[in-house]
Amino acid sequence: MSSRQLIFASFAHEEDLLEGIRALRRADVKIVDAFTPYAVHGLDRAMGLRPSPLTWVCFVCAMTGVLFALWFEHWSLAVSWPINVGGKPWNSLPSDVPIGFEMAVLLGGFGSVFALLGLCRLFPGKRARLATPRVTNDRFVVVIEETDAVTTPDFVHALLEPHGVVEFEERLAEEKVPW
């Protein structure tokens, strides 16, 4: 099994991480991922991540919810077993709306959360692979892959040094580890 040479550079402050990442991207160094203790504002832009597709998952689920609920309410009370309630017409769209809305929210919410867990491969009992034990507390880490002869540790270190890197190490990772 082939392996990858990865560089882990840690920072103590979010500005340092952002500046470091910008410096790396300017130098065309391939960034595997970054790890932060909280959602750093602007990190997605700095890393050039594309907008998340989860909004569409949510929209499709919510539309499914509302359409299914409206159809089911109509079918059950007007077709399957018609019941006259307070003289309301068979086709009582206004009174079908509240449950239609609730089902849209329910499916939209659960759909997007499950899509998140699937997309990011999060599941109960998964062993966390931490870039450094302090990454969930107060460390910011960027992981770089040594793809070619230019991206040597020295080169990367020189790039990051002005940005307050506090920890710098090389590690060998298995090919399939999706860092």
Alpha-carbon torsion (51, 62, 121, 135), positive or negative:
positive
Task: CB nearer to other proteins: give 48 or 172.
Answer: 48
CB of 118 to other proteins, least distance (A): 10
SS3 37: coil
CB of 18 to other proteins, least distance (A): 11
Task: CB nearer to other proteins: give 106 or 173.
Answer: 106
Task: CB nearer to other proteins: give 96 or 146.
Answer: 96
CB of 105 to other proteins, least distance (A): 5
List of residues 6+ apart from 99 with CB closer than 8 A: 69, 73
d(CA 38, CA 139): 10
Task: CB nearer to other proteins: give 131 or 151.
Answer: 131
List of residues 6+ apart from 86 with CB closer than 8 A: none
- Name the token pair of 93: 């769209």
CB of 100 to other proteins, least distance (A): 10
